[in-house]
Structure 1
Amino acid sequence: MLEDRYCPHCGAKLESWLGPPESGWGEILVCNNNECSFYRNSQKDIHFKDEDNSLGCRYAENPDNGYSSFNLLSYYK
C-alpha cells in the first residue's frame, strides 16, 4: 500500500495509476486535478510543439524511485 501523497502545487491527493507495461513503470501517483496550476500552465511550457497540439503535463511521483517527481505527459482539456 502506498503512502498518501499530495500535489505541492494544488494540495490535491495524488491518485494511484498503473503505468503501461512498455513504460517500465509500475504504480505511480498522479495529480488528476484539472484546476491544478501545474497542469493548467503546462501546455505553454512544452517547447517545440505545434500550436494546435493538446498536450500538457501532470505532476506525478514514482514510489519505486523514492517518490521522485516527474512531469507526466497528458492530453490537455
Structure 2
Amino acid sequence: MADFDEAKTICPHCGQHMEKWVSPAVNSWGGECLYICFNDECGYYQRGWDHTFKKIGIKASYRHRYDPNTGQCGPFPVNTPDAGRDCIVAE
C-alpha cells in the first residue's frame, strides 16, 4: 500500500480538488476508494471525447484519477458526463 499523497487529490490538468469516489462492491479497481476529477470543464476530460472517438470509434471520455492504495494516477473511463457520480462520497 502506498502512502497517501494529499497533493495527488488535486487534478494536474485543471487544478480542481478531486472527489472521493467509493467503488461498487464488484469492481476491477481494487482499492477501497479513488479520487476522481469530476470537473466537466477540465481539459483532460473535454479532450477525451474527441480523442476516444478518433482512436477507437466510440463516444466516451476519461477523467483523471488517483488511487491512494497504489499511488497510481491515470484515466477513469466514462461514457456519459454523469457516469460515476453516483459513487461520490463526502469527506
Matched residue pairs, number?
Answer: 72
Q: In the alignment, what sits opposite 2:42?
A: 36
Higher relative contact order (CA 8 A, sep 6+): 2
Query: Which whole-Å deviations, capped at 9, do the CAs of 1:27-71 have from their partners, x for residues lacking one?
Result: 000000000000010112222123xx2x110000100012x1110
**1:76–1:41 distance in 2 versus 1, CA, 3 Å:** farther
Contact 1:43 1:76 in 2 (8 A): no
Q: In the alignment, what sits opposite 2:27?
A: 22
Q: What is the percent sequence identity of the aligned residues?
A: 26
More strand by share: 1
Q: 2:16 aligns with which of 12, 16, 26?
A: 12
Q: In the alignment, what sits opposite 1:65?
A: 70
- 3-state SS in 1 of match to 2:27: helix
Deviating above 2 A after TM superposition, structure 1's stretches of 4 or more consecutive aligned residues are none
1:49 maps onto 2:57 in alignment: yes
Matches of 1:44 and 1:71, distance apart in 2 = 15
Q: TM-score, normalised by structure 1?
A: 0.79
Contact 1:16 1:27 in 2 (8 A): yes
